[in-house]
Chain A
Amino acid sequence: MTATPTTAPARLRPSVTARSRRADRPKLGHTAVGILFLAVMLFPIYWMINASLQPSGNTLTADFLPLKPDFGGYQKAIEQQGTNLVTSLVISLGTVVFSLAVAAPAAYMLGQIRSSWINVGLLAILISQMIPGIVIANALYAAYNDLGLLNSIPGLILADATHAIPFVILIVRAFMMKIPPSIVEAARVDGAGIARAFVSIVLPISRNSLITAGLFAFLFSWSDFLFALTLTTTEDVRPVTLGIYTYLGTQVSNWSAVMATAVLSSIPAIVLLVLAQKYIAAGATGGAVK
């Protein structure tokens, strides 16, 4: 294991050797346990894929393995949901960027300032997480209608950020509070302003928390259905969650297409998540503390 953190690699050397010593022990046992647990966790997803390959779209008469797979649902999903998938990706990535840009500076400041007003601010952020989405959606519809933001990608990014921004502030703040003030102060002594210290020191050290928070900003936005439904009135801009509803009728539903769409749309997203997780470094602040 030579995952070398970007910050002060030289100081980390002792821990690297310590870890590689431990790595000598067989770790494949861990991998096996990990796979076993994952299998349990993901069984429902397997079962969904199994259902999606059944002609009936359900598992009432299904075997444990889809022996006679029917790809009709997938064909339909590929033909009809491609554009929606791209829309979802654009909106979700946009939400990640927008949320991090707005929330990260605030998270840092809320961790730094010592004032009783901070608690008021935090309380406000927490309250914002308690509001039912439908209440926000109703209010936004009227405003968006006046502003011409309906059926637009920026409109959906702004709305989806309601899931993410308060969350990112709280999570990133919890992480940033652990950054030893001495590190930032050292930079300040060297003449850097807060803004520069933030960009060149705080953000790189907080990489892990930013990626973690960004992952969830992506997931929140990806799984949004309510805003997609409320803030669009045409099929021009349509995230894939709403596209799934094309197969869910009021009286009759095409479950094999629903599940096929869910499966297919997860693939690009999971690739992104795997890539992002790769960049969560071990003990990133560790080297910089001393």
Chain B
Amino acid sequence: MPGARRRRGGRERLVQVLFLAPAGLYLVLFFGYPVVKNVLMSMQAYTTRTFFTGEAPWVGLANYATALGSTLFAPAMLNTALFTIGSIVGQFAIGLALASFFRRKFPLSGFLRSMLLLPWLLPLIVSSATWRSILDQDSGVLNAFLRSLGIIQEPVPWLTSPSVALLAVVLVTIWVGIPFNVTILYGGLQEIPEELYEAGAVDGATGWKAFWHITWPNLRPVVSVVLVLGVVYTLKVLDIILGLTNGGPANATQTLAVRSYQESFVNFQFGVGAAFSNILILISLVFAVIYLRLNRRAVDE
């Protein structure tokens, strides 16, 4: 009997390994090397010349000093924080509201829910160009609409005023992110057994109470993964900002991701660009660790 168990344990370990091996191998191959390379790059004087010669003098942390010392660093940090928080809060709140709304089956609900994914099918270059024309101060349809409703008197300088541009970029990012949040949260809601609500209703838990005592605890693993992925994805958003404002006007929408791109591919300072992207990765890591902590606590419970 003990022998059989041991044999079974050994086989189980083998199965575990077989389940994990393909993914593990893939991660090492497709991510391991690039990460190492990015870290090395950030500690080298990596220029366009390096690509041809392979020679890049070791400079230690000098690139990080350059990145941290630049006058744009503090504003970029602040913008990154505002941009990420604003986008995530907006996407998640609207996403959860819509997911709950779609959970009540109604005619066409499945179709409408699918259509929500449409923004994801468009290349970002196309949607940001469209948004740029919608948000145009003089001829944009949004200002025309708001004016016809009498909400505003003067056109809003969505993308042309440094004090509004970040908000406009956040709005577009929320628009892009809603489908992701709705779909995953909806999937999570669907997994919550109907019986729980029925039992809850018997105990008088309906509406908000049901949400708080039944939906939220059951949805938590999905919520935490949606949020952590949302933060990671939002931190590195680049195309939307480049497409809408290019970091302008007057650097009002500079984020760490934009800095990283511009240092590498506009100023050809690949070492500094890599330093910026590693700082970004470090910030994401903080969120990842928080996620794992929460995760462990959830498992312990």
Contacts and interface: CB of A to CB of B under 8 A. Distances in A.
A touching B, CB within 8 angstroms: yes
Interface of A: 1, 3, 12, 14-15, 18-19, 23, 27-28, 30-31, 33-35, 37-38, 41-42, 44-45, 47-48, 51, 58-60, 101-103, 105-106, 108-110, 113-114, 119, 121-132, 134-136, 138-140, 158-159, 161-162, 165-167, 169-171, 173-175, 177-178, 193-195, 198, 208-209, 211-212, 215-216, 219, 222-223, 225, 241, 244, 248, 255, 258-259, 262, 265-266, 269-270, 273-274, 277-278, 280-286, 289-290
Interface of B: 11-12, 15-16, 18-20, 22-24, 26-27, 30-31, 33-35, 37-38, 98, 101-102, 104-127, 129-131, 133-134, 139, 141, 175, 178, 180, 183-184, 186-188, 190-195, 198, 218, 221-222, 224-225, 228-229, 232-233, 235-236, 238, 257, 260, 264, 274, 277, 280-281, 284-285, 288-289, 291-292, 295-296, 299
A267 to B, nearest CB: 9
Interface of B, secondary structure class, is helix
Given A48-B126, A175-B187, A281-B190, A128 B108 contact: no
A201 to B, nearest CB: 15
B118 A270 contact: yes
B107 A42 contact: no
A159 B31 CA distance: 11
A122 B187 contact: no
A60 B141 CA distance: 9
A175 B127 CA distance: 31
B268 to A, nearest CB: 14
Contacts of A290: 195
Contact of B187 (A129, A169, A208, A259): A208
Given A129-B284, A177-B299, A259-B126, 11 more contacts: A27-B105, A34-B109, A44-B175, A47-B130, A47-B134, A108-B19, A124-B31, A127-B284, A139-B34, A266-B122, A286-B192
Which 4 A-B pairs have CB atoms at the shortest separation, nearest pair first? A106-B23, A286-B193, A27-B106, A30-B106
B138 to A, nearest CB: 9
A215 B117 contact: yes
B124 to A, nearest CB: 7
Contacts of A35: 108, 112
Contacts of B15: 193-195
Nearest to A287: B193
B34 A131 contact: yes
B121 A266 contact: yes
A255 B188 CA distance: 39
B183 A216 contact: yes
23 contacts: A3-B105, A18-B194, A23-B105, A28-B106, A31-B109, A34-B109, A37-B98, A44-B131, A45-B119, A47-B141, A51-B130, A105-B20, A122-B295, A126-B232, A132-B38, A136-B34, A158-B30, A166-B27, A194-B15, A223-B120, A262-B122, A266-B121, A277-B114
A277 B187 CA distance: 10
Contacts of A280: 186-187, 190
A177 B221 contact: yes
A262 B122 CA distance: 6
